[in-house]
Amino acid sequence: MLDVTNRYAGILLPVFSLPGPYGAGTFGKSAYDFADFLADAGQSLWQILPLNPAGGGNSPYSVYSSFAGNPLFIDPALLAEDGLLTEGELSDFAALPCCRKKGKIDYVNLVPAKYALLEKAAERGLAKKEEAFEAFRKAEASWLSGYALYMACREYYNGAAWLDWPEGIRLRKPEALEKHADALADRIAVTEYIQYLFFKQWKALKEYANGKGVLIIGDMPVYVSLDSADVWSEPSMFELDEKNCPKETAGVPPDYFSEEGQLWGNPLYDWEKMKTDGYGWWIRRVYAAFRLYDVLRIDHFRGLASYWAVKSGAESAKEGRWRPGPGMDLVSVLTGWFYDRQFIAEDLGILTPDVYELLEKSGLPGMKVLEFAFDPASESSYLPHRYGKNCVCYVGTHDNTTARDWFEHAEDAERRKAAAYLGLNEEEGIAAGLIRGGMASAAFIFVAQMADWLCLGAEGRINVPGVPEGNWAWRMEGDALTPSLAEKIRYMTEITGRSRR
């Protein structure tokens, strides 16, 4: 648990944005180098995005499982060190055009190539009959067997979503489950071994970062994807009809990011059903998240107070309605069960009185975003002089553009207000001035995007909400992490009282 009387600083950089020779960031050398860089720069926190297996649009917020890990992050060089790949296979993979591409991830070509490589490693690993793997299978059986069967069935049915599978397996009839498990046993074993590799590599990296004094902030979306092992394995937890199709789906009404709102398509929870066993499903999910992360940010926290529900088949999120969430019923269970762990509430978006009330009762730190602070027509609660200690200040989140790009495209009056308030100037740099303003705030945690420390423009943006393609693809250049940059970050961290020393 972080101490609100102390001051902390961190950097947001997704794992996939790390540099390296394999097309997307991995748990290999570049990740260890970044942990070293954070320590050298006096940072206490590394914020990443969800590590679960990305689904539609390669989004880490639309995943095939809330419990499994994304195989894309497994490092091939570490597999070669373990004898699971040859040096020739390693060099052949690194020579592929999708691995040599600079700046952006080529998911279309990288994903199938990476999975083919991982399957070779898994087949060799399975042949070893390792005791550690068998122990992993037993320890993770509550989710692993269902996830592996789900992924094997998706492959067998040519990538079709589970709603389009034959009725027997779609509705999880016992005879169909047994038949598919027997027929797909080899594919199931490969998927389980790949998950073993993921958790083995992540555990080692996280322990290394923690040993450097760096904690990991992870993200947990409130909702899960409809096409996921979560919904297919436990349909009773969701509001589905007799064919297991969603009655209503999640989204948000028109807001800062979209005039039309956003139609997410996630199934809604059956909160009354979940309450009957004390929210056991949520306890298991959060427990799994805290095995990956030291600090857990609950994305779309406002959905626990009230949430936007849209009838299935609606063409626009505008057609939705507000429904009450579980509120403190659930939050008190989670904060009580995980009393010694740190949560962050992502309380952005359209905020209604029930959200403010829930945040206050929970005692969790909310979020302040500087890029939202300088509306000339209002006295925004995101202005630093209005912060209390119990909050987390960001220049911008993964859903915002970079500081430089924001300033370049803001309205004139907004730019003038930001410049006057923070003393922004070209000599220091716009991004550096915004970071200084957030660092100096009362918020007990401050986080900046790595792209802002690098003074990047729109090319460094991670995600544009509501845009289905082209996101989650930015990669940092391999020579970006210099000693002089670490010294600059450390200096700003120290003079604002946020250094780990």
Is the confidence at residue 37, as pLDDT, over 80? yes
pLDDT at position 45 is: 98
Q: Which of 104-118, 339-353, 466-480 has the highest mean pLDDT?
A: 104-118
pLDDT tens figures, 190-242: 999 999 999 999 999 999 999 999 999 999 999 999 999 999 999 999 999 99
Catalytic residue among 192, 230, 299, 347: 299
Q: Where are the alpha helices (DSSP H) in 212-279?
A: 229-233, 271-275
Q: How large is the average pLDDT for residues 6-27?
A: 98
- How far from the centroid of its chain's Cα atoms is residue 277's Cα? 28
Q: How large is the average pLDDT for residues 402-422?
A: 97
Q: Where are the alpha helices (DSSP H) in 392-479?
A: 403-409, 412-422, 430-439, 450-453
Is the confidence at residue 47, as pLDDT, over 80? yes
Give the Cα separation of 477 and 448 in Å (integer): 18
Catalytic residue among 227, 230, 294, 346: 346
Give how many domains the chain has, as a whole number: 1
428 is catalytic: no
pLDDT tens figures, 48-61: 999 999 998 999 99
Q: Which domain holds residue 203?
A: 8-495
Q: Which tokens sit at 18?
A: 């790390």
Give the Cα separation of 401 and 461 in Å (integer): 5
Indicate the length of the chain as a whole number: 501
This prediction's pTM: 0.96
pLDDT at position 262 is: 86
What counts of helices (H) and strands (E) characterise the chain?
Answer: 20, 12
- Helix, strand, or coil (residue 460): helix
pLDDT tens figures, 423-463: 999 999 999 999 999 999 999 999 999 999 999 999 999 99
- How far from the centroid of its chain's Cα atoms is residue 194's Cα? 20
Closest CA to 34 of 58, 49, 17, 50: 17
Q: How confident is the model at residue 469 (pLDDT cuts 50, 70, 90)?
A: confident
Pairs from 198-201 (Cβ < 8 Å, separation ≥ 24) = 198/68, 198/69, 198/70, 198/71, 198/73, 198/74, 199/69, 199/136, 200/132, 201/27, 201/73, 201/74, 201/75, 201/78
Residue with tokens 């009185």: 353
Q: How large is the average pLDDT for residues 256-277?
A: 90
| 177 phi-psi bin (left φ>0, alpha ψ -120 to 50, beta other) | alpha
Closest CA to 104 of 51, 47, 25, 12: 25
pLDDT tens figures, 98-150: 999 989 999 999 999 999 999 999 999 999 999 999 999 999 999 999 999 99
- Helix, strand, or coil (residue 262): strand
Catalytic residue among 294, 399, 405, 452: 399
399 is catalytic: yes
Give the Cα separation of 271 and 253 in Å (integer): 21
Give the Cα separation of 119 and 122 in Å (integer): 5
pLDDT at position 78 is: 98
pLDDT at position 286 is: 98
- The 3 state secondary structure assigned to 277-291 is CCCHHHHHHHHHHHH
- Helix, strand, or coil (residue 34): helix
Closest CA to 454 of 431, 425, 474: 431
Largest Cα separation within the chain, whole Å, is 70
Is the confidence at residue 501, as pLDDT, over 60? no
Q: How large is the average pLDDT for residues 59-69?
A: 97
Give the Cα separation of 423 and 443 in Å (integer): 20
Sign of CA dihedral 294, 45, 297, 468: negative
Q: Which tokens sit at 376?
A: 């000339």
Whether 2 is covered by a domain: the verdict is: no
Whether 96 is covered by a domain: the verdict is: yes
Q: How confident is the model at residue 1 (pLDDT cuts 50, 70, 90)?
A: confident
- Helix, strand, or coil (residue 365): coil
Give the Cα separation of 335 and 322 in Å (integer): 25
Average confidence score pLDDT of the chain: 96
User: Contact at 8 Å (CB) between 342 and 294?
Assistant: yes
pLDDT at position 49 is: 98
User: Contact at 8 Å (CB) between 468 and 57?
Assistant: yes
User: Contact at 8 Å (CB) between 339 and 283?
Assistant: no
Which phi and psi (to 5°) does residue 311 adopt?
Answer: -60, 135
Burial class of 266 by CB neighbour count within 10 A (0 to 12, 13 to 18, 19+): buried
Q: Which tokens sit at 390?
A: 């119990």
Is the confidence at residue 257, as pLDDT, over 70? no
Look up the CATH number of the domain holding residue 351. Answer: 3.20.20.80
346 is catalytic: yes
User: Contact at 8 Å (CB) between 443 and 368?
Assistant: yes
Residue environment code for 442-479, b if the CB has 16+ CB neighbours within 10 A, otherwise e: ebbbbbbbbbbbbebbeebbbbbebeeeebbbbbbeee
Whether 3 is covered by a domain: the verdict is: no
